[in-house]
Amino acid sequence: MRLATWNVNSIRARVDRIVDFAVREHIDVLAMQEIKCKVEQFPFDRFEEAGYHVEAHGFSQWNGVAIASREPLTDVRTAFPAMPGFEKGHNGPDAPHEARAIAATVGGVEVWSLYVPNGRSLGDPHYFYKLEWLAALEQYTRASLAANPDLALALVGDFNIAPTDADNGDPTVVQGFATHVSPPEREAFAALEAAGLHDVVRPLVPTGFTYWDYKQLRFPRNEGMRIDFILGSHALADAVAGARIHRDERKGEAPSDHVPVVVDLDLDGPDDDDRPMIF
């Protein structure tokens, strides 16, 4: 299975580019974030013409997540237990959920496409919502793997966290003054790993960013951040046979500010698949 994640920054603005990438790179499962549309506005037909099944979750021109797969998607969910909601000026546990999570099972793998809250700024209510959201995700992960240690679980998407200094090349993002690099956010990311997840890309791709701001020539200067991840359980990590960050997708006409991150999974042992492996 070739599994990819990509914050597409508007599916309707970039559908041709996204479908072309999926077909050209032989992607079996593509998790997308920031689709920025309602479900009824999603261009399902373009994906279906290319041989993909799609499940999407979106309410408006903000946020939104989706999963496209060459195989049928089952057990589709749009929230994990205790996932908090958010609404400006709304306090309490009953704030409405945003479209930030969708899960499905495909090929024996439980795949979550996740768009972790940005946080906006240190001290902002959205920042504390982000930490609460991540804590609930960690609790779900820990409980799922305790119940089924052999579960092939993939949490993929835009985590809006650079977990180490090596993951941050943007000189304007300074620890202690900005989100994405604050100690509580990095601790929340580490808690996901402690719950039984592995960053399955970095061991195979030791350098490289996944996001570059559109402003101030960040991409030409390579002042980016690594904030898009494929985190896998032990069972999934053991199946990883290759990984790649597709930096060139940040080039060309009207690119997303993020690029795809891809892994090859050997879930059933050697077969006759003649696709080139990625490293």
Structure tokens at 23: 């077909």
Average pLDDT score over residue span 1-29: 98
Mean pLDDT, rounded, of the chain: 95
HEC secondary structure over the chain: CEEEEEECCCHHHHHHHHHHHHHHCCCCEEEEECCCCCHHHCCHHHHHHCCCEEEEECCCCCCCEEEEECCCCEEEECCCCCCCCCCCCCCCCCCCCCCCEEEEEECCEEEEEEECCCCCCCCCHHHHHHHHHHHHHHHHHHHHHHHCCCCCEEEEEECCCCCCHHHECCCCCCCCCCCCCCHHHHHHHHHHHHCCCEECCCCCCCCCCCECCCCCCCCCCCCCECCEEEEECHHHHCCEEEEEECHHHHCCCCCCCECCEEEEECCCCCCCCCCCCCC
User: What's the rounded mean pLDDT across residues 81-89?
Assistant: 92
Checking if the pLDDT of 184 tops 90, the result is yes
Average pLDDT over residues 175-185: 96
Q: In this structure, which topology does domain 2-265 adopt according to CATH?
A: Deoxyribonuclease I; Chain A (3.60.10)
How would you class 260 by CB atoms within 10 Å of its CB: exposed for 0-12, middle for 13-18, buried for 19 or more?
Answer: buried
Where are the chain's structural domains?
2-265
Q: Name the residue among 151, 158, 139, 53 with its Cα closest to residue 110.
A: 151
For the record, the structure tokens of 194 come out as 């402690």
pLDDT of the residue at 93: 77
With a pLDDT cut of 90, the percent of the chain lying above it is 92
Look at residue 108 and tell me whether its pLDDT is greater than 50.
yes
The encoded tokens of residue 49 equal 């013409």
pLDDT tens-digit map of 211-227? 999 999 999 999 999 99
Distance CA 228, CA 7 (A): 8
pLDDT digits (tens, 9 = 90+) for 114-155: 999 999 999 999 999 999 999 999 999 999 999 999 999 999
Confidence of residue 274 (pLDDT cuts 50, 70, 90): low
pLDDT recorded at residue 272: 41
- Give residue 57's pLDDT: 98
Q: Residue 44 region, left (φ>0) first, then alpha (ψ -120 to 50), else beta?
A: alpha
| Residues above pLDDT 70, as percent of the chain | 95
Q: Is the pLDDT of residue 165 over 70?
A: yes
pLDDT over 80 at 276, yes or no? no
Nearest of 250, 275, 236 to residue 105 by alpha carbon: 236
Q: What confidence tens digit (pLDDT) does each residue in 263-273 have?
A: 999 997 554 45
For residue 163, pLDDT beyond 70: yes
| pLDDT band, residue 66 (cuts 50/70/90) | very high
| Contact (CB, 8 A) for 158 and 112 | no
Does the pLDDT value for residue 261 go beyond 70? yes
